[in-house]
Structure 1
């Protein structure tokens, strides 16, 4: 590594942002960027991911393009840069007026703006891509990069546009950022984005200051009472300072729990996507300033939350995956002080999550969309498709996304869609449905892994880290099963299957070993998702074959 680059980076970080000492992993990633490498950085919430692009952007010749999925998060990042006194940053999105967009582009094209934030769907517009190309983008930043992977827990088809746009822009150095990406997801991100000469910066997923626990409840009323009582107990503890989060599944439940917490004397507010934007901002601000002790929220409350002293995160409903759960509990204890994370669980929740996520592909709509696009004389807009097929915009969008993933259609300029003439309708539909079913199977397997975490009698931290492909040699001593004595260290049997080994199953196909325990293996298969297998059964029946 160049000591000159390191000195330049640290000086820029200090002079612009007031950061007197960057973490070693931040400096390493920044140096790779300045040397022209693509970088994939997997860092937990609060570990300073944004700095990895913000500091190098001060030292390159041209603007940094930052693709981020949420408008609110974009505005938060722009505000943070402005407050830090960094060079100008602008946002370009569909919510702006024509005058606001014109002003933003003027700043980009004049060279005044150093950072340009936009959502991935903006990259479907030919004019946007051409203006970015003309501006000479010097750094291409992809936030929430796991969204590009169909193995990821939050796959978004809009992220598939990233690779062709990246090439149109001359493939400037890429910084792909995410807080949760197991090794197979990381490999998929690199492949789908077409990253070159990539360097990975991956820190441990372990947050030893967070205590993990699961509380079993028999019904919804008992759980609600238990959550309210526990939140009141934590807030009322001597010396409590900071805030707490309670996550639940529905908008109505956020309001109900917030009211019950207020009845117990807590300063509590509800937060969900159905609130007006100004009300959501009011909740954010009150929580940041300490005027509210507890926010009861759906998963809509999360990205961009910058409050280091959150002391507890309680879940009054099971999340759809351990990926989501890890992200949400990771908002506790970001100051390094102890944090409490508790999942209030009942078995019926998993059946509900399986039902909610088991969405079959709209085969009839996929077929109709494919046929209509093949029959069209040229590119077709989505609105034209929905009108001609008398189908909902949501179902048409899903059909187009599936067809795009299998390479049957592409998005042309101004969001128009065109079918590949070399791909037949029958072939396209069959491949799209197979892809959808495989993805749904992966989602269901994630729900099952969430259930495994709730039900384990082993160390919860070992289970959670194993899900992300990280091995913790000994029980953590800071979870409920360790406290209860059920998570005792057990001798680890030596076997041929090790962490991250590539394997093949006769029925389920290729996969990667994600966790190795004394009596079981957890494997993430490309086609069927996560599966937990008995080591004895694997060895006795030769179920897995190592792939060299």
Structure 2
């Protein structure tokens, strides 16, 4: 017989929001989703990272009778979410391959006895017949939440076959509300999710993609290490992620950053599982770590105070870029995203698509996704406008990206493009960018003379532009698909079919003129937490106390309180538990567990002198 699970918190959703999480009001469509699911309905929920989508299933699980089952893709993510819930006084646990022996037996005892509010489980674990059967026979489910639901899309960048098998849950648990949640899904992916999981389209809640706290910048690779150093220097002592395309590059970049005085770790699939887990734990638990990683790192990173994300190479699609940059600023405080790219990146990405062995339809889709990303990189309009337009949203110019801060200058690039294509053709369509630029500029060296390229009609026809401008022009022609690159050979440039059509049809072309400097210069990064000078010492003392408690408990600092909460404490200086309870982010469980320690810090800290 299925045991009755006592409702752990017989309160309204708003009461739970305040008493457990310490917040006074719901944001966006949270309340609408929560009421919908509490009433027993299925839901597809799309909310931007940091938008509070976890509350959309956690609070209904606390309100409804039974156990809330959450499907989560990574053990590290489960552990962090469980730790945060327990710190708030919620009875949560995780069932995955890392749990064995007596601990696993005790967990099933707790499930059977109705001692848990939320159970996190990996899809591979959940789909085992014995696990499904025990959940059916030994407990009552309040709801099933499938987090990171975009993983079931066969066309997506994070496809996981196990996620597609989760369609069986509707039949296995009839009448149990099912939720699919994600922060990253374009229109085709959203349609695929709701169709595959049999969630009625009218049960979709789209809260938008905008992350207004992130400042986007995209620049031509000029001196990439110096450009990266400029970004990190603007964020001293803060955590960030640097994405690279290859394992070797992650190692070399991390070594170089350490030599420059930063605290950097490399992370890629070539490391053994123990090393990866240890480095991820350091990133989660310590402050000021820069993780230099391939795309093997990132999904499920719940660290709220990542202040920057940099791409030293071109990502694979706008979805990948959006998700990876979305790991910055989950706490809602200012964060920065910098992407650097060059012609080699474009060529490599195109080669990956063509050599993938995928069906033609998949290749066609991947080409379209890459073209959309290149359009974002080359746009002269607001980056945020272009990014959100891809996901079907309209947005006014944001004023918080590089193109808004320093609008790029456009020029009629028709003649320049014709000259570049003609030079590529005259030299035999087998030489790289540097050689083409040298011929256009009329430079002489032994190789040019030996090949007779100083006697071509295209020699020295491009002296009106400097070498940097010509590199930018060639990069844009590659991005526009007018020029192809032989990556497998020596990077030789050739005229594509589109480029031949451009010449044949005498089309016109607007190009961006490269900006002076590194390309990163926009307004200086805004401080994550801006406090009056007299309040800053108390804020730092509260952070030290938080770090001390976190180390003693073996949890990340943000599990205790976010920086936003500590900043409000420092400004308000609460002197009692009642006053501390009014601080956003201080729920009843955290007040009981940590209140005295933080009140003591405030009491011991001298009041700032009056001006």
TM-score, with structure 1 as normaliser: 0.67
1:133 aligns with 2:136: yes
1:339 aligns with 2:316: no
**Is contact 2:310–2:337 with CA below 8 Å preserved after alignment?**
yes
Instruction: For residue 476 of structure 1, give the secondary structure of its aligned residue in structure 2.
Output: coil
Q: How many residues align?
A: 402
CA distance 1:64–1:277, change in 2 (3 Å): same
Structure number with the bigger relative contact order (C-alpha 8 A, sep ≥ 6) is 2
1:213 alignment partner in structure 2? 217
CA distance 1:319–1:46, change in 2 (3 Å): same
CA distance 1:252–1:470, change in 2 (3 Å): same
1:405 alignment partner in structure 2? none
**Is contact 2:77–2:302 with CA below 8 Å preserved after alignment?**
no
Q: Distance in 2 between matches of 1:6 and 1:180?
A: 33
Q: Distance in 2 between matches of 1:227 and 1:357?
A: 28
Instruction: Report Cα offsets for 1:326-369 as digits up to 9, x if no partner.
Output: 1121222334443221111012212222333446559xxxxxxx
2:364 alignment partner in structure 1? 441
Instruction: For residue 32 of structure 2, give the secondary structure of its aligned residue in structure 1.
Output: helix
1:466 alignment partner in structure 2? 389
Instruction: Report Cα offsets for 1:118-170 as digits up to 9, x if no partner.
Output: 22223442222222222232201101111223343322222221222221211
1:265 aligns with 2:261: yes
Instruction: Report Cα offsets for 1:501-523 as digits up to 9, x if no partner.
Output: xxxxxxxxxxxxxxxxxxxxxxx
**Is contact 2:238–2:289 with CA below 8 Å preserved after alignment?**
yes
**1:45-64 residue pairs with structure 2 within 5 A?**
45-64=49-68
Gaps of 5+ in 1: 363-435, 489-532, 534-548
**Is contact 1:6–1:31 with CA below 8 Å preserved after alignment?**
no
**Is contact 2:10–2:63 with CA below 8 Å preserved after alignment?**
no
Instruction: For residue 201 of structure 1, give the secondary structure of its aligned residue in structure 2.
Output: strand
The equivalent position to 1:112 in structure 2, one of 99, 109, 115, is 115
Instruction: Report Cα offsets for 1:379-428 as digits up to 9, x if no partner.
Output: xxxxxxxxxxxxxxxxxxxxxxxxxxxxxxxxxxxxxxxxxxxxxxxxxx
Q: Distance in 2 between matches of 1:360 and 1:245?
A: 27
CA distance 1:15–1:232, change in 2 (3 Å): closer
1:418 alignment partner in structure 2? none
**1:17-96 residue pairs with structure 2 within 5 A?**
17-91=21-95, 93-96=96-99
The equivalent position to 1:454 in structure 2, one of 377, 386, 398, is 377
Instruction: For residue 138 of structure 1, give the secondary structure of its aligned residue in structure 2.
Output: strand
**Is contact 1:145–1:177 with CA below 8 Å preserved after alignment?**
yes
**Is contact 2:186–2:319 with CA below 8 Å preserved after alignment?**
no
**Is contact 1:228–1:261 with CA below 8 Å preserved after alignment?**
no
Instruction: Give the drift of 1:6.
Output: 12
Structure exhibiting the larger radius of gyration computed from Cα positions: 2
Q: Distance in 2 between matches of 1:290 and 1:128?
A: 35
Instruction: Give the drift of 1:14.
Output: 2.5
Instruction: For residue 53 of structure 2, give the secondary structure of its aligned residue in structure 1.
Output: coil
CA distance 1:106–1:181, change in 2 (3 Å): same
Instruction: Report Cα offsets for 1:81-106 as digits up to 9, x if no partner.
Output: 22222024231x33433544333323
1:245 aligns with 2:246: no
Instruction: Give the drift of 1:284.
Output: 4.1
**Is contact 2:250–2:294 with CA below 8 Å preserved after alignment?**
yes
**Is contact 2:127–2:166 with CA below 8 Å preserved after alignment?**
no
Instruction: Give the drift of 1:74.
Output: 1.9
Instruction: For residue 458 of structure 1, give the secondary structure of its aligned residue in structure 2.
Output: coil
CA distance 1:354–1:246, change in 2 (3 Å): same
CA distance 1:17–1:229, change in 2 (3 Å): closer
1:200 alignment partner in structure 2? 204
**Is contact 2:250–2:266 with CA below 8 Å preserved after alignment?**
yes
**Is contact 1:317–1:349 with CA below 8 Å preserved after alignment?**
yes
Instruction: For residue 368 of structure 2, give the secondary structure of its aligned residue in structure 1.
Output: helix
2:184 alignment partner in structure 1? 180
**Is contact 1:357–1:440 with CA below 8 Å preserved after alignment?**
yes
Gaps of 5+ in 2: 1-8, 411-497, 499-611
**Is contact 2:217–2:338 with CA below 8 Å preserved after alignment?**
yes
**1:157-176 residue pairs with structure 2 within 5 A?**
157-176=161-180
Instruction: Report Cα offsets for 1:240-275 as digits up to 9, x if no partner.
Output: 563232111222222211111121122222233444
**Is contact 1:150–1:439 with CA below 8 Å preserved after alignment?**
no
CA distance 1:440–1:68, change in 2 (3 Å): farther
1:485 aligns with 2:407: yes
2:160 alignment partner in structure 1? 156
**Is contact 2:283–2:291 with CA below 8 Å preserved after alignment?**
yes
Instruction: For residue 155 of structure 1, give the secondary structure of its aligned residue in structure 2.
Output: coil
**Is contact 1:13–1:20 with CA below 8 Å preserved after alignment?**
yes
**Is contact 2:67–2:117 with CA below 8 Å preserved after alignment?**
yes
1:372 alignment partner in structure 2? none
**Is contact 2:307–2:336 with CA below 8 Å preserved after alignment?**
yes
The equivalent position to 2:311 in structure 1, one of 308, 315, 319, is 315
Instruction: For residue 58 of structure 1, give the secondary structure of its aligned residue in structure 2.
Output: helix
Q: Distance in 1 between matches of 2:68 and 2:405?
A: 48
1:366 alignment partner in structure 2? none
Q: Distance in 1 between matches of 2:284 and 2:44?
A: 30
Q: Distance in 2 between matches of 1:110 and 1:487?
A: 67
**1:520-531 residue pairs with structure 2 within 5 A?**
none
Instruction: For residue 313 of structure 1, give the secondary structure of its aligned residue in structure 2.
Output: strand
Instruction: Report Cα offsets for 1:52-101 as digits up to 9, x if no partner.
Output: 1111111212111111122221222222222222024231x334335443
2:350 alignment partner in structure 1? 354
**Is contact 1:459–1:475 with CA below 8 Å preserved after alignment?**
yes
Which piece of structure 1 moves more, 455-464 or 28-37? 455-464
